Amino acid sequence: MTDALVVGAGFSGLAAALSLVRAGRRVRVLEARDRVGGRALTRWLDDGTQLDLGAQWIGPGQDRVNALVRRYALGTFPSPAYGGSTVIWDGARRDAAPEPTARVVELLDGYAARLDPAAPWTAPEAVRWDRITLGGWLAATAPDPVTARYLGRLLAGGLLATSADEVSVLQMAFYLRSGGGSGALLRMAGGAQQDRIVGGPAALAEAMAAALGPDVVRLAAPVVAIEQDRAAVVVYTDAERFDAAAVVVAVPPTLAGRIRYAPALPALRDGLTQRMPMGSAFKVHAVYPEPFWRADGRSGVATCSDGPVVETVDNSTPTSSRGVLTAFSYGVEANALRAMTPPARRAALLDALTVIVGPAARHAEEVIEYDWSADPWTRGCFCGALTPGSWRQYGPWLRPAVGRIHWAGTETATRWTGYLDGAIEAGERAAAEVLGRLPTGAP
Amino acid sequence: MTDALVVGAGFSGLAAALSLVRAGRRVRVLEARDRVGGRALTRWLDDGTQLDLGAQWIGPGQDRVNALVRRYALGTFPSPAYGGSTVIWDGARRDAAPEPTARVVELLDGYAARLDPAAPWTAPEAVRWDRITLGGWLAATAPDPVTARYLGRLLAGGLLATSADEVSVLQMAFYLRSGGGSGALLRMAGGAQQDRIVGGPAALAEAMAAALGPDVVRLAAPVVAIEQDRAAVVVYTDAERFDAAAVVVAVPPTLAGRIRYAPALPALRDGLTQRMPMGSAFKVHAVYPEPFWRADGRSGVATCSDGPVVETVDNSTPTSSRGVLTAFSYGVEANALRAMTPPARRAALLDALTVIVGPAARHAEEVIEYDWSADPWTRGCFCGALTPGSWRQYGPWLRPAVGRIHWAGTETATRWTGYLDGAIEAGERAAAEVLGRLPTGAP
């Protein structure tokens, strides 16, 4: 019998396990996939160009993930910063969004400043903010429909990987607050997209798993059931059972809700996981012989009010001469791409990229995509978000343990929720809960 | 090997199985519970008073369920109709809601008339209606906050068992349309609450199961996994495997999403089940020596703009002298009751009933509740509803089969969705799909 079990070897589960192991506890991590790292996955082109197919960035203020990168002596490199950004505004190329967009975002940042990220439902305006979708609010608040569309895609899309009509103003404000405001969240240099990790976040996950020691992480072991009583918790995979004093469930809420629990979880905890769908993103890397857009003085960073692509970044690496332009679609646009055949999708994406960086975009050497919504062990990205009207009723059930079951995952973080850093915060918090319940004394 | 498997022995699964058996096919129904009937459950007091703890009513226009009641020669009895209705309006008792409430409901019925219940996302206004919550719309449309509150509780509560802030105007209009409009849905006599079944809907489910013949329904057999390939589908319970040419999954969408599928379901089908939470109702029967409210000329039928109880009905039966007053709470109010201790909840409910029918309400002989949200094989009631902003993206995945997997359940009905009748329509439609794919010829 181990002291504690952890379900999921993403960053949250690995961080929880590290905290427990460091406190001298016997731990086992059960992971459904044949790899660690959760929503992070890295692939390499033949010349060594690093493609991060899922999570990829870290930035200032993300103290926990930066500390781990230092601890495991992983290298980082900055996101490219050449030339000016591009805005596709109602079909036309511009250097920046019209000034009124900033004023609308300021309003949202103001809402964010007035709520407690640990309990957003306690804000005096919480009921009102949770009853209006971001899309509805933008339609009423933005000076024109293009601004509303642009900001819905930038904020609900770029931050939550969903459509503005699917999230409430409260959910959006909570997310902005958790990441320190729109400036910190949206900026490349100085913001959440500042740096990448050599080897990708996957390298960090592997270093964390290695630090746990041998035989701690069990791969290809999807958890199907969790039973608990006054004495212990029992976790079942298809083939095995594991006993412990406590378990940390560190998978997305919608997947946590699919495990069978005995006794059944309380109605409101189950109601929470029924109302926290994952975002829906399509992230595609278009690979070129060189980052040709730089010759035109363009950074490759673009945001678009229309079209299948919501935003792009230059994702080229310093050690390769190749150019990688990475395109993101979210929500309605991502789902439209998903419904296409692969050739039609490739054509639609490359068409959109020509609008952004010119006709050379059509001549990609490779177009590489990975669909996290189709992956049964993640079922979407970047993260889960509560549906409109749900925060007050179900939000209070996000973090509190249910008996011997403790909840982690980036969705349960109060700072940098949705990010690697939030995943680590959540794992460490859940581990502290578990340590608080374990008998003290020499392990 | 059977021809077809059915997951779930609620009304939809039983109707699917009946259609298949009647077509000469070999069928097996796998049910997680130790009983049939799904969201219907009947209990009797010692004097034989029938208490329907879940689904209970049938009405005119519900042709499928009425036909089955006749086929199995089950008796019915009308809902009591003595005296006048009560409205608790901003804390005060009235005989009817102020006239402007009807005008606001007419607007919604008008929206409902403009959509196709088989494809509500195709309505010209669908995007706009799905981006605004019913709560937000009522706040902007109703003449005053009491009217907004009252109608939110009456419509989102009384029809979808949720809060007005959790559902979009499109979802509400779809539901109104599916049931033939607010009049048919809300009326007792002449509407969806007109009649009850002797023995309850559970008696009908048992008759349907008996008509399937012996050994067709396997109880206490929760399905955990479904695999399919070009040749067959394999359905796994904890203990057994079953092979067939097709399977009908006839459980609520949120529970269908918890089964493990191989190959994994398409991203958008999984996205649908992430976004279709069950309603959250609290239905409580307060039992009295007699229906004392009738002496005051009151019907026991009440709707309330405030307080923990949203509505009440006289649920007394013709064969008993006892009075049964049944109280319903939904969404925020239901969840607040759920968070109380049982004695505190009983006190809060009886307090609310005294406001509606007078101080005698405090002296209940028994208070009997059943929480469908706590039941792991239903996880809420009356039914699932798509979250705001989801219809256009995920609605098209509600009914289409995924390979050999066909979807039933009242949520997939186009007429009387959420009702017994819709469950039967959905089961029969799924069975027809299965029959269409099975080889023809003598079975």
C-alpha to C-alpha distance for A252 and A234, rounded to whole angstroms: 20
Domain with CATH 3.50.50.60 in chain A: 2-39+201-275+387-437
C-alpha to C-alpha distance for B106 and A19, rounded to whole angstroms: 59
Is the pTM for the entire model greater than 0.90? yes
Of A260, A376, A389, the CB nearest to B264: A376
Q: Is the peptide bond before A291 cis (omega within 30 degrees of 0)?
A: no
Tell me the pLDDT tens digit for each residue of B59-99.
Answer: 999 999 999 999 999 999 999 989 999 999 999 999 999 99
Residue A60: exposure state from Cβ atoms within 10 A (0-12, 13-18, ≥19)? middle
pLDDT of residue A443: 47
- Decide if A133 and B133 are in contact by the 8 Å CB cutoff: yes
Of B132, B136, B388, the CB nearest to A166: B388
Q: Cβ contacts (< 8 Å) between B337 and chain A: which residues?
A: none
Tell me the pLDDT tens digit for each residue of B151-192.
Answer: 999 999 999 999 999 999 999 999 999 999 999 999 999 999
Tell me the pLDDT tens digit for each residue of B395-439.
Answer: 999 999 999 999 999 999 999 999 999 999 999 999 999 999 988
What does the DSSP assignment read for A256-325? HTTSEEESPPPHHHHHHHHT-PBP-EEEEEEEESS-GGGGGTEEEEEEESSSS--EEEE---TT-S-EEE
* CATH class of residue range B2-39+201-275+387-437: alpha beta
pLDDT of residue B81: 87
pLDDT per residue, tens digit, chain A (443 aa), is 799 999 999 999 999 999 999 999 999 999 999 999 999 999 999 999 999 999 999 999 999 999 999 999 999 999 998 999 999 999 999 999 999 999 999 999 999 999 999 999 999 999 999 999 999 999 999 999 999 999 999 999 999 999 999 999 999 999 999 999 999 999 999 999 999 999 999 999 999 999 999 999 999 999 999 999 999 999 999 999 999 999 999 999 999 999 999 999 999 999 999 999 999 999 999 999 999 999 999 999 999 999 999 999 999 999 999 999 999 999 999 999 999 999 999 999 999 999 999 999 999 999 999 999 999 999 999 999 999 999 999 999 999 999 999 999 999 999 999 999 999 999 999 999 999 998 875 44
C-alpha to C-alpha distance for A98 and A145, rounded to whole angstroms: 13
Beta strands, E only, B315-391: 323-330, 366-370
* Token representation of residue B13: 């699964």
**Amino acid identity for residue A291 in this structure:** P
- Decide if A275 and B387 are in contact by the 8 Å CB cutoff: yes
pLDDT of residue B439: 84
* Vertex B102: Cα angle to B99 and B103 (nearest 5): 95
Residue found under tokens 């199985």: B17
Chain B nearest-CA distance from A57, in A, is 25
Tell me the pLDDT tens digit for each residue of B347-392.
Answer: 999 999 999 999 999 999 999 999 999 999 999 999 999 999 999 9
Evaluate whether B247 touches B235 at the Cβ level (below 8 Å). Answer: yes
What is the three-class DSSP state of B239? coil
Q: Cβ contacts (< 8 Å) between A258 and chain B: which residues?
A: 257-258, 260
Least CA distance to B371: which residue of chain A?
A267
Domain with CATH 1.10.405.10 in chain B: 99-186
- Decide if B388 and A132 are in contact by the 8 Å CB cutoff: no
Q: Using N-to-C axis directions, what is the helix angle for B134-141 and B169-178, rounded to 10°?
A: 100
Q: Cβ contacts (< 8 Å) between A387 and chain B: which residues?
A: 166, 275, 277, 387-388
* Token representation of residue A62: 């993300």
Order the strands of the A92-94 sheet from edge to edge: A92-94, A84-89, A298-304, A311-314, A323-330, A281-288, A366-370
- Decide if B393 and A335 are in contact by the 8 Å CB cutoff: yes
Size of interface A-B (CB pairs under 8 A): 148
Instruction: Evaluate if residue B443 carries a pLDDT over 80.
Output: no
**% of chain B exceeding 90 in pLDDT:** 98
Tell me the pLDDT tens digit for each residue of A111-135.
Answer: 999 999 999 999 999 999 999 999 9
Taking residues B27-50, report their average pLDDT.
97
Interface test with B, best of A129, A132, A251, A274 (most B CBs within 10 A): A274
Chain A nearest-CA distance from B218, in A, is 20
Chain A nearest-CA distance from B419, in A, is 21
- Decide if B332 and A379 are in contact by the 8 Å CB cutoff: no
The CATH number given to A99-186 is: 1.10.405.10
Of A267, A274, A393, the CB nearest to B254: A274
C-alpha to C-alpha distance for A36 and A206, rounded to whole angstroms: 7
